[in-house]
Structure 1
Amino acid sequence: MTELSALFHGFSVILTPMNLLLMFVGITLGVLIGVLPGLGGANGVAILLPLTFSMSPTSAIIMLSCIYWGALFGGAITSVLFNIPGEPWSVATTFDGYPMAQKGQAGQALTAAFTSSFIGAFVAVVMITFLAPMVAKFALKFGPPEFFAVYLLTFCSFVGMGKGSPFKILGSMAIGFALAAVGMDTVTGQLRLTFGLEELMRGFDFLIAVIGLFGIGEILLSMEEGLAFSGKSAKISPKVVFETWKQLPQYWMTSIRSSLVGIWMGITPGGATPASFMSYGLAKKMSKDGAKFGTGQLEGVVAPETAAHAAGTSALLPMLALGIPGSPTAAVLLGGLLIWGLQPGPLLFVEQKDFVWGLIASMYLGNLAGLIVVLTTVPLFASILRIPFSIIAPVIIVICAIGAFTVHNAMFDIWLMLGFGIMGYVFKKLDYPLAPLVLALVLGDKAEDAFRQSMLLSQGEMSIMVANPLVGSITGLALLLLFWPLIARLIAKVRPPKPTGFAAEQPVD
């Protein structure tokens, strides 16, 4: 009941005309960002973050989080109508969404996608409402060793649970750690890796790095591929919406399973993209129509969209309660909190109750507002893709440059943004993940501080990392996740192969 009373207080905080206006502005901008290939949730939030510096933290986070929800919704529009995933997590939606559009069922596919997205997000927000305060109270017992163990767990889970090559993930993360070390050492006050450049004394600002890596990098890649838009038109009538809603209850098991997959992948740093693919694969395996997936099945749209929104929303739980982001966009929002003078973590629930519960309340209203906006404006946003990409790309680059310049009002930051953009382009060409780099850049200095404080407390003894059951269990779990790819290979080698062929079919007497 304490959580419910706090939640109602959160609604009283955000239910002001200005906050409601910012909510709808954020949703609309987010859908636009999701529709345009080359932009993404993380980059859209990063570009528009400087615009919120004059707002109160509560109003700013409401607008930025609604941009995130809108981007999650918007990615489905291009996936269904144009077979172009506006966001990485929308790739799985194209498998059945675009075939449905080709069969003249674009309205049903989009209605199912938007409704499933809302359901996935709603389940995740309910989970955050009741779990976040408990996690925060538990985390109040943490000291420097425990915090370092949690950071270690986050980094190791990226390596062990990531879908790509562990060596590429480690390489990307190592570069992020190196970039995080540039500037002034917070423990000794000495300058590190500045090479005599005064501009590097403050280090690499995560916001400039994110704008370059995600925005400029994607635009360069899209320009190289000569991206052109062509697709189906769509109108969503009330009749289509209600007819589709009548069909959706038969997929209730898929929705529950996809929500759970998404929540798990959001809390652990798996993210919305692997959650959508995993959920699609499970639905295909468990559905009675699994063999028809890929030909235009409504269930093939429901599964990935539910999981993606559940993952994108639940990624904010570790960010709020522990100060550890569960996705690149959550990492950008974490940086925004630090800029506004707020320290994410367990004390945030004690010191900034209005902010925390206002944010959680905005998740409920923001997703409802997002559902209303996308159901009523699909033709408008789809028509944007008829603008030539040669016009859209320069506009995005200019927006990125303005966003980078406003961080410190320095031309040097624009050059840094372009440098990070080239790095992002190279990473994508070589198939190196960007999320571990961003995570290490945001959390690298905090992990270093926690480790050095732990070493000062123990006078250099590493045994402090297993000094009590709490820190020992977290460290042990981190090491297990780090070496999980090797453990999985060993298990596969030791386990006897399943009998196949004629011998397996012989009856036993």
Structure 2
Amino acid sequence: MEIWFTAFHNVFSPMAMLFICGGVLMGVMLGAIPGLNSTMGTALLIPFTYAMDATTGLLLLAAVYCGGTFGGSISAILFNVPGSPEASVTGFDGYPMAKAGKAGKALGIAILCSCIGGLFSVGIMNLISPQLAKVALSFSEPEYFALAFAALTLIASLGGTKMTKAFLVGFVGLLIATIGIDPMSGVERLTFGWSGLIGGVNFIVALIGAFAIGEILMTAEKGSKIDGEEEVKVSTEFPSLVEMLKLKWNVLRSAVIGTLIGILPGVGATTASFVGYSEAVRWSKHPEKFGTGIADGIAAPETCNNAAAGGAMVPLLTLGIPGSATTAVIIGGFMVHGLQPGPMLFLNQPDLMYSIFLAMYVSNVFMLFAGVIVAKLFSNFRKIRYSILGPCIFVFATVGAFGISNSMSDVWIMFAFGLLGYVMKKYDYSVAPLIIALVLGGLAEESLRRGMRMEDYDLIAFLSRPISGTILAVALATFLYTLYSRMRHKPNLLAGEMKQPSL
């Protein structure tokens, strides 16, 4: 209790509250701007923490982290331009809901579920951090592959009545994910002699191109404008208690998934959001509605990615191992003040640890207000005619793509994916399977090859391990059931698709 009283004093002092609230607001704004994210924000702020005491500086970094994880969903919902990679899944249903005149409802669901996911993970982190860290250490390459495979089976569910197209797009995404240096042998693959592809295709650049540029080109071709009465009046509308009760199991499941994936070193919120979305589709009674603009499609990824943010702090604080890119940067914040995160920090600086816990509680609650403020600011852009707004988004997307690694190669890759996204939309190919395969393809390939080497190239060993075997069995069973149910209800599905005009 004495430690908690000290933590309350540290967090609820006027100066600390100012930095926490300001950090959350800054994180949400950074996350909402394509090309910027919480990782970049925390990295830029570390030098400013020199002049602060260790507690205040680390509370600021934690607040920016919490806010930045949510911020990307605002631009994903309003403009189909994910501000951060973990928000790309939110756009699958958030943007269709916004186009249907329910942008305020979509924003309200995203903000509230993000808050719930964040609070859940911080609560778990506070209660059983050491135990969760031990669970994370039991994961090896077969378990990582099983997670990636389970998420990739989402492609079958997202295909709807066009499964052949979905599988084709998914295979293209997996192929693109292999571009660059082979992680095992160091050999160049599919670079065609262009140095810009040696590092592979940055999936953030691909997201910006496929979603933002592709949408701009499609809208320009149609000659439509976002200036209708329903589109202009965007006001954040939180879901009612009845609506939240309908989402309760989805939110709870996503919070658990996000927290567990968050504690796995190096996995992060992006993978968590894809896995959470895939499980929401898997457990839904109406999987065909996902991608059309439903509340479950927003609640799952938003709960997951914010729960993963709290989960990623578990290995950082208990073992000194970063659980994500942003927590790796936060380690720098610890070291700036002469601190080494890990088990000894709980013994030597318990008041600091509990101050961070409490600050993350406060940050997730304040995110409700910061999200509304930033959403209102960005929603005002929808009042602008698309003939003006479209080119502005194009410019910001280009600057964001260039700013990721200060390379013109990323800009050309963004343009290429923009054209690809446009062609896919024009010929009724879903972009979602491409992005899912691109994001998870690298993790699946690398973990499979390393796992095969670790198990002496015995694939059966993947099934014999308790965790990976269970995940693979469930994923494979549900995948086969999805195929069976689709073919049973649509016996001529594949034949009908093959008759459709293709690229």
Q: TM-score, normalised by structure 1?
A: 0.64
The alpha carbon displacement at 1:491 in A equals 7.4
Deviations 1:191-233 (A, max 9, x none): 1112222222211122221221122112112222223212167
In 2: Cα distance, 1:155 partner to 1:355 partner: 37
Residue 257 of structure 1 corresponds to which residue in structure 2?
246
Residue 189 of structure 1 corresponds to which residue in structure 2?
186
Residue 123 of structure 1 corresponds to which residue in structure 2?
116
1:20 lines up with 2:21 in the alignment:
yes
Matches within 5 A, 1:459-474: 459-474=456-471
Change beyond 3 A, Cα 1:490–1:199: closer
1:396 lines up with 2:393 in the alignment:
yes
Change beyond 3 A, Cα 1:184–1:439: same
In 2: Cα distance, 1:405 partner to 1:158 partner: 30
Deviations 1:383-423 (A, max 9, x none): 53332222211111111111122233222222111111111
Change beyond 3 A, Cα 1:443–1:135: farther
Q: CA RMSD in A?
A: 5.1
Of the two, which has the highest radius of gyration? Answer: 1
Change beyond 3 A, Cα 1:401–1:372: closer
Q: Return the letter of the residue paired with 1:231.
A: E
Change beyond 3 A, Cα 1:431–1:459: same
Residue 498 of structure 2 corresponds to which residue in structure 1?
none
In 2: Cα distance, 1:235 partner to 1:408 partner: 34
SS of 1:385's equivalent?
A: helix
- 2:151 and 2:275 in contact (8 A); partners too: no
Change beyond 3 A, Cα 1:436–1:89: same
Q: Return the letter of the residue paired with 1:138.
A: V
In 2: Cα distance, 1:139 partner to 1:335 partner: 13
The alpha carbon displacement at 1:88 in A equals 3.8
- 1:180 and 1:444 in contact (8 A); partners too: yes
Q: Return the letter of the residue paired with 1:89.
A: G
Change beyond 3 A, Cα 1:384–1:147: closer
In 2: Cα distance, 1:86 partner to 1:150 partner: 22
Overall identity of the aligned pairs, in %:
23
In 1: Cα distance, 2:187 partner to 2:437 partner: 21
Residue 214 of structure 1 corresponds to which residue in structure 2?
211
Residue 408 of structure 2 corresponds to which residue in structure 1?
411
Residue number among 439, 457, 463 corresponding to 1:442 in the alignment = 439
Residue 72 of structure 2 corresponds to which residue in structure 1?
68
Residue number among 157, 172, 176 corresponding to 1:175 in the alignment = 172
Which segment is superposed worse, 313-322 or 225-234? 313-322
1:150 lines up with 2:147 in the alignment:
yes
1:475 lines up with 2:475 in the alignment:
no
Matches within 5 A, 1:305-320: 308-309=298-299, 311-317=301-307
Matches within 5 A, 1:292-331: 308-309=298-299, 311-317=301-307
The alpha carbon displacement at 1:90 in A equals 5.6
Change beyond 3 A, Cα 1:356–1:221: farther
The alpha carbon displacement at 1:176 in A equals 2.0
In 2: Cα distance, 1:387 partner to 1:370 partner: 26
Q: How many pairs align?
A: 412
Gaps in structure 2 of 5+ consecutive residues: 47-60, 80-89, 258-272, 288-292, 314-322, 332-340, 347-351, 491-503
Change beyond 3 A, Cα 1:272–1:129: same
- 2:141 and 2:450 in contact (8 A); partners too: yes
Q: Return the letter of the residue paired with 1:61.
A: Y
Change beyond 3 A, Cα 1:46–1:335: farther
SS of 1:424's equivalent?
A: helix
- 1:118 and 1:371 in contact (8 A); partners too: no
Q: TM-score, normalised by structure 2?
A: 0.64
Change beyond 3 A, Cα 1:25–1:458: closer
In 1: Cα distance, 2:425 partner to 2:477 partner: 29
SS of 1:202's equivalent?
A: coil
Q: Return the letter of the residue paired with 1:261.
A: N
In 1: Cα distance, 2:374 partner to 2:330 partner: 38
Residue 337 of structure 2 corresponds to which residue in structure 1?
none
Q: Return the letter of the residue paired with 2:199.
A: R
Residue 385 of structure 1 corresponds to which residue in structure 2?
382
Residue 497 of structure 1 corresponds to which residue in structure 2?
none
Deviations 1:426-473 (A, max 9, x none): 222233333332333233222222111222123222111122332221
In 2: Cα distance, 1:351 partner to 1:72 partner: 41
Change beyond 3 A, Cα 1:280–1:459: closer
Residue number among 215, 228, 231 corresponding to 2:229 in the alignment = 231
Matches within 5 A, 1:264-275: 264=253, 267=257, 269=274
